[in-house]
């Protein structure tokens, strides 16, 4: 049997909406059962937890006017699945804490952080963070496809933007302006006239004026092209980077799950150095697939190193090709 402390912690975390603590307690419970020799119960609990963590996002319908421009999902990813430096995790936790206790802040005339800018290289967890925040806040996630806004709806972007901000007022949700640089970048170009400029200015004004209960998250990987004027509009800025050694090890452990065997962490970290979180995750998936197809239940270290090297090689040749295409012809 689980200890009464564990049961109390489980119930408490459920009612406090603390999903991370709920999961940790459930896993502690599994470990406790395993120690007592109840390995079947322990395995059952772990399976339930894994299934709960992985259940995929549910797609919801959207207004016909915004079809193709905004997609709505109900994500189910937890904070514990994000592998980031402690400083970033703490910033995310602070955002969640302020959200959960926003009425307390409001009584003192303060509002919770709810306009957030995420910046950093590709594949480091920006989009995933928005999914995690929506899941932890139990809010639906509205993903605004910014590149569509500036290409497909050229000429009617301002009208579309207004509709989006009307929706932000109307529905409490987390609105993610993903690949946000599609608007941001245009403003700093030399031919800084025309519709894009108006769109960006309108966007900035809408963000500034917004006093809804919704969350606005903008994600970009090209911070340098973004206008300084943008920064003032956000309550918090989260900067992402490629994973550190310990991040790599944790990512590998999380991703391999029950397929994990014993590895030399320093070798793994050395081989994976320079890859993004997304690439490390893909290499782990490749190794798992290989293990499954050859009837194995564990991923061997040599196979994991091989898939990591493959990813690195693919990345290197991509960069080399890009550099070659930039070399001027003589």
Ligand X SMILES: Nc1ncnc2c1ncn2[C@@H]1O[C@H](COP(=O)(O)OP(=O)(O)OP(=O)(O)O)[C@@H](O)[C@H]1O
Query: Of 22-30, 119-127, 239-247, 263-271, which part binds Mg ion (CB under 5 A)?
Result: 119-127
Q: Within 10 A of 50 (CB to CB), how many other CB atoms are there?
A: 12
Q: Which of 81, 112, 127, 212 binds Mg ion (CB under 5 A)?
A: 127
Q: How far is the CB of 26 from ligand X (least distance, A)?
A: 20
- In the bound state with Mg ion, the residue whose beta carbon lies nearer, of 127 and 307, is 127
Spell out the residues 6+ positions from residue 145 whose beta carbon is closer than 8 angstroms to its own: 68, 69, 70, 71, 178, 179
Phi and psi (nearest 5°) for 15?
A: -75, -25
Q: How far is the CB of 149 from ligand X (least distance, A)?
A: 16
Query: Of 4-12, 118-126, 200-208, 209-217, which part binds ligand X (CB under 6 A)?
Result: 118-126
145 binds ligand X (CB under 6 A): no
221 binds ligand X (CB under 6 A): yes
242 binds ligand X (CB under 6 A): no
**Cα–Cα distance for residue pair 293/208, rounded to 1 Å:** 53
Q: Locate 147 and state its tokens.
A: 């590149």
Q: Locate 253 and state its tokens.
A: 């452990």
Query: Of 50-58, 76-84, 229-237, 312-320, which part binds ligand X (CB under 6 A)?
Result: 76-84
Residue with tokens 């016909």: 64
Q: How far is the CB of 201 from ligand X (least distance, A)?
A: 25
Interacting partner of 299 out of ligand X, Mg ion, none (Cβ under 5 to 8 A depending on kind): none
Interacting partner of 114 out of Mg ion, ligand X, none (Cβ under 5 to 8 A depending on kind): none
75 binds ligand X (CB under 6 A): no
Q: Which of 17, 68, 122, 274 binds ligand X (CB under 6 A)?
A: 122
126 binds ligand X (CB under 6 A): yes
Q: Which of 116, 117, 173, 166 is nearest to 142 (CA)?
A: 173
> Exposure pattern of 67-101 as b/e (b: 16+ CB <10 Å)?
eebbbbbbbbbbbbbbbbeeebbebbeebbebbee
Residues near Mg ion (CB under 5 A), total:
2
125 binds ligand X (CB under 6 A): yes
128 binds ligand X (CB under 6 A): yes
Spell out the residues 6+ positions from residue 227 whose beta carbon is closer than 8 angstroms to its own: 184, 187, 188, 200
Concatenating the DSSP letter of every residue in 117-173 gives: EEE-STTSSHHHHHHHHHHHHT--EEEEEHHHHHHTTTTSHHHHHHHHHHHHHHS--
Q: Give the 3-state secondary structure of residue 193.
A: coil
Q: How far is the CB of 327 from ligand X (least distance, A)?
A: 26
Cβ-closest residue to Mg ion? 127
- In the bound state with ligand X, the residue whose beta carbon lies nearer, of 187 and 255, is 255
256 binds ligand X (CB under 6 A): no
Dihedral sign (CA 254, 258, 259, 265): positive
Q: How far is the CB of 219 from Mg ion (least distance, A)?
A: 5
Contact yes or no for 307/290 (Cβ under 8 A): yes
- In the bound state with Mg ion, the residue whose beta carbon lies nearer, of 203 and 240, is 240
Q: Which of 2, 72, 82, 287 binds ligand X (CB under 6 A)?
A: 82
- In the bound state with ligand X, the residue whose beta carbon lies nearer, of 43 and 250, is 250
Q: Locate 88 and state its tokens.
A: 């970033």
Q: How far is the CB of 23 from ligand X (least distance, A)?
A: 15
Phi and psi (nearest 5°) for 136?
A: -65, -30
Residue with tokens 């080399």: 320
Q: Which of 145, 150, 207, 281 binds ligand X (CB under 6 A)?
A: 281
Binding site for ligand X (CB under 6 A): 82-84, 122-128, 219, 221, 251, 277-278, 281
């Amino acid at each position: 049997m689980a200890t009464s402390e564990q049961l109390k912690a489980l119930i408490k975390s459920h009612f406090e909406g603390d999903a991370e603590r709920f999961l940790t307690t459930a896993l502690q419970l599994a470990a406790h059962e395993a120690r007592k020799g109840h390995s079947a119960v322990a395995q059952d609990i772990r399976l339930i937890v894994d299934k709960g963590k992985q259940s995929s996002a549910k797609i919801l319908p959207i207004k016909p006017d915004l079809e193709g421009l905004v997609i709505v999902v109900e994500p189910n990813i937890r904070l514990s699945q994000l592998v980031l430096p402690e400083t970033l995790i703490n910033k995310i936790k602070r955002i969640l804490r302020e959200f959960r206790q926003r009425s307390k802040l409001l009584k003192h005339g303060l509002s919770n952080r709810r306009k957030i800018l995420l910046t950093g290289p590709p594949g480091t967890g920006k989009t995933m963070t928005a999914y995690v925040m929506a899941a932890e806040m139990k809010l639906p996630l509205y993903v605004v496809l910014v590149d569509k806004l500036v290409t497909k709806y050229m000429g009617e972007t301002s009208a579309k933007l207004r509709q989006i901000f009307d929706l932000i007022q109307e529905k409490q949700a987390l609105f993610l302006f993903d690949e946000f640089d599609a608007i941001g970048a245009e403003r700093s170009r030399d031919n800084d006239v025309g519709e894009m400029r108006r769109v960006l200015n309108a966007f900035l004004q809408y963000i500034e004026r917004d006093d809804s209960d919704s969350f606005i998250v903008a994600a970009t990987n090209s911070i340098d092209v973004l206008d300084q004027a943008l920064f003032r509009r956000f309550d918090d800025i989260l900067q992402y980077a490629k994973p550190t050694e310990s991040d790599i090890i944790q990512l590998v452990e999380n991703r391999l799950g029950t397929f994990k065997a014993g590895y030399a962490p320093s070798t793994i970290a050395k081989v994976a150095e320079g890859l993004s979180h997304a690439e490390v995750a893909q290499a782990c998936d490749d190794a798992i697939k290989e293990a499954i197809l050859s009837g194995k239940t564990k991923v061997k270290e040599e196979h994991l190193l091989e898939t990591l090297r493959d990813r690195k090689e693919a990345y290197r040749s991509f960069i080399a090709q890009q550099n070659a295409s930039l070399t001027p012809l003589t």
